[in-house]
């Protein structure tokens, strides 16, 4: 150990401010960069899951509207109405 | 000869390679950088001329060395992407850019903090300092040019050209201390003859350069994975990975 005690280590022969400013800035910068890289990976995964859920909802809405169209044999207008509302729902979810 | 490289043009393979390498780089990097910094800060002898202030060298030199190495790596990745149209190469290029910008920033700040007690000024428009500042702006340029394009293949091409053109700055930085009269001292360890530094100061310095390189490598692996995930977010393997990560 080069220094005799902890306070002389902090003091760095009077250059403490400059030495610790340098090391602190380096440590902080690297940590910020690492955190950004690490947490954006998680964010990307949640985005992928959200997108997947959205696609599933759109698919579900589409199948619902087609089955509704098949069952409504009495009038074409009701089926069209139902598919229109389904379409609206998907559009709403996109926003 | 280069056949073994071809599968890595496939992003899924590259992603998993990054995943395998990541713990090694992170762990080794953390250990080496902590040991080297502690060694440099507390155990290395004092400099006869600069007293304890010289210890800034243990962050200043690694960050400066890495700034140039990372720029070279980024430009090479850009070149490979442009010539052989490798998509993953552009991703590597843009994954490297923020790391390079950060270490360049650190080298400038630590340089200023060293310059103030030794030269009496935080900043001087001198050849070495200015060319290093230009390096920082080149990194910013590559990042913002890449972000400016919606089509990422186009973005990679544009940013790649910029990265390659900027390589001209690297020899200027290196030889600035010889070509011009500068405040900055000449090369200490990157010389062909013996380095002008005693071994007990040199070892922690070399070790800290290695530590910085490993940590940069670890961050690069993370950012490379992020780039791949971003570009391939619709692929089934990415969706499967996301589902797996959620369960954990």
Closest to B131 measured CA to CA, from B96, B98, B171 = B171
Nearest chain B residue (CA) to A11: B52
User: Residue A82: pLDDT above 90?
Assistant: no
Measured between CA atoms, how close is B6 to chain A, in angstroms? 26
Task: Please tell me the predicted confidence (pLDDT) of residue B196.
Answer: 72
User: Which tens digit of pLDDT belongs to each residue from B106-120?
Assistant: 999 999 999 988 888
The answer to whether A8 faces chain B, any CB pair under 8 Å, is no
User: Which tens digit of pLDDT belongs to each residue from B149-161?
Assistant: 999 999 999 999 9
pLDDT range class, residue A94, cuts 50, 70, 90: very low
Q: Are B163 and B74 in contact (CB under 8 A)?
A: yes
| CB-nearest partner of A29 from B37, B53, B102 | B102
Domain assignment present for A1 = no
Q: Are B117 and A15 in contact (CB under 8 A)?
A: yes
Chain A contact probe: residue of B106, B116, B120, B240 with most A CBs at under 10 A: B106
Report chain A residues whose CB lies below 8 A from the CB of B116: 18
Q: CB A44 to CB B99 under 8 A?
A: no
Beta bridge partners of B127: none
Task: Please tell me the predicted confidence (pLDDT) of residue B164.
Answer: 96
Tally of domains within chain A: 1
Distances (CA, A) of A86 to A52, A59, B193: 19, 11, 77
Q: Is the dihedral of CA B165, B122, B189, B217 positive or negative?
A: negative
Q: Which residues of chain B have pLDDT under 50?
A: none
Q: CB B117 to CB A33 under 8 A?
A: no
User: Residue A78: pLDDT above 70?
Assistant: no
Q: CB A19 to CB B55 under 8 A?
A: yes
Which comes out higher in pLDDT, residue B54 or A66? Answer: B54
Q: CB B106 to CB A25 under 8 A?
A: yes
What DSSP letter does each residue of B163-179 carry, written as one string? HHHGGGHHHHHHHHHHH
* ipTM of this complex prediction, to 2 decimal places: 0.89
Q: What tokens appear for B236 in the block?
A: 């089934």
Domain assignment present for A56 = yes
Nearest chain B residue (CA) to A18: B113
* Structural domain spans, chain B: 13-247
Q: Are B229 and B238 in contact (CB under 8 A)?
A: yes
Task: Please tell me the predicted confidence (pLDDT) of residue A92.
Answer: 53
What is d(CA A2, CA B46) in angstroms, rounded to the nearest whole number? 8
Q: CB A44 to CB B116 under 8 A?
A: no
pLDDT range class, residue A13, cuts 50, 70, 90: confident
Beta bridge partners of B47: B51
Report chain B residues whose CB lies below 8 A from the CB of A30: 102, 106, 215, 219
What is d(CA B229, CA A88) in angstroms, rounded to the nearest whole number? 31
* Structural domain range at position A50: 6-94
Question: Which contacts of B171-174 are long-range, i.e. CB under 8 A and separated by 24 or more positions?
Answer: B172/B131, B173/B68, B173/B128, B173/B131, B173/B132, B173/B135, B174/B68
* CB neighbours of residue B116 within 10 Å: 17
Task: Please tell me the predicted confidence (pLDDT) of residue B193.
Answer: 60
Question: With pLDDT > 70 as the criterion, what percentage of chain A qualifies?
Answer: 71
């Amino acid at each position: 150990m080069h220094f005799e005690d902890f306070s002389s280590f902090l003091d760095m022969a009077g250059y403490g401010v400059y030495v610790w400013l340098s090391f602190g800035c380096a440590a902080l910068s690297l940590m910020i960069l690492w955190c950004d890289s690490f947490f954006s990976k998680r964010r990307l995964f949640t985005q992928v899951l959200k997108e997947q859920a959205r696609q599933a909802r759109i698919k579900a809405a589409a199948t619902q509207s087609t089955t509704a169209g098949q069952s409504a044999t009495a009038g074409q207008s009701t089926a069209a109405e139902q598919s229109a509302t389904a379409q609206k729902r998907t559009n709403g979810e996109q926003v | 000869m280069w056949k073994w490289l071809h599968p890595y043009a496939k992003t899924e393979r590259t992603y998993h390679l990054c995943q395998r390498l990541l713990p090694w780089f992170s762990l080794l990097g953390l250990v080496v950088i902590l040991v080297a910094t502690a060694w440099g800060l507390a155990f290395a002898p004092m400099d006869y001329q600069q007293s304890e202030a010289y210890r800034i060298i243990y962050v200043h030199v690694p960050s400066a060395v890495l700034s140039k190495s990372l720029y070279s790596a980024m430009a090479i990745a850009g070149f490979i992407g442009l010539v052989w149209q490798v998509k993953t190469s552009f991703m590597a290029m843009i994954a490297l850019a923020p790391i390079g910008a950060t270490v360049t920033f650190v080298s400038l700040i630590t340089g200023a903090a060293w310059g103030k007690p030794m030269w009496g000024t935080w900043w001087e428009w001198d050849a070495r300092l200015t060319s290093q500042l230009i390096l920082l702006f080149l990194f910013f340029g590559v990042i913002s040019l890449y972000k400016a394009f919606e089509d990422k293949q186009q973005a990679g091409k544009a940013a790649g050209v910029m990265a390659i053109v900027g390589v001209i700055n690297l020899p200027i930085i290196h030889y600035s201390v010889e070509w011009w009269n500068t405040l900055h001292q000449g090369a200490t360890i990157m010389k062909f003859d013996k380095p002008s530094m005693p071994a007990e100061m040199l070892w922690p310095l070399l070790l800290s350069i290695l530590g910085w390189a490993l940590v940069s490598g670890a961050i690069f692996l993370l950012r490379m994975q992020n780039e791949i995930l971003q570009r391939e977010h619709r692929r089934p393997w990415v969706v499967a990975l996301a589902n797996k990560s959620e369960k954990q």
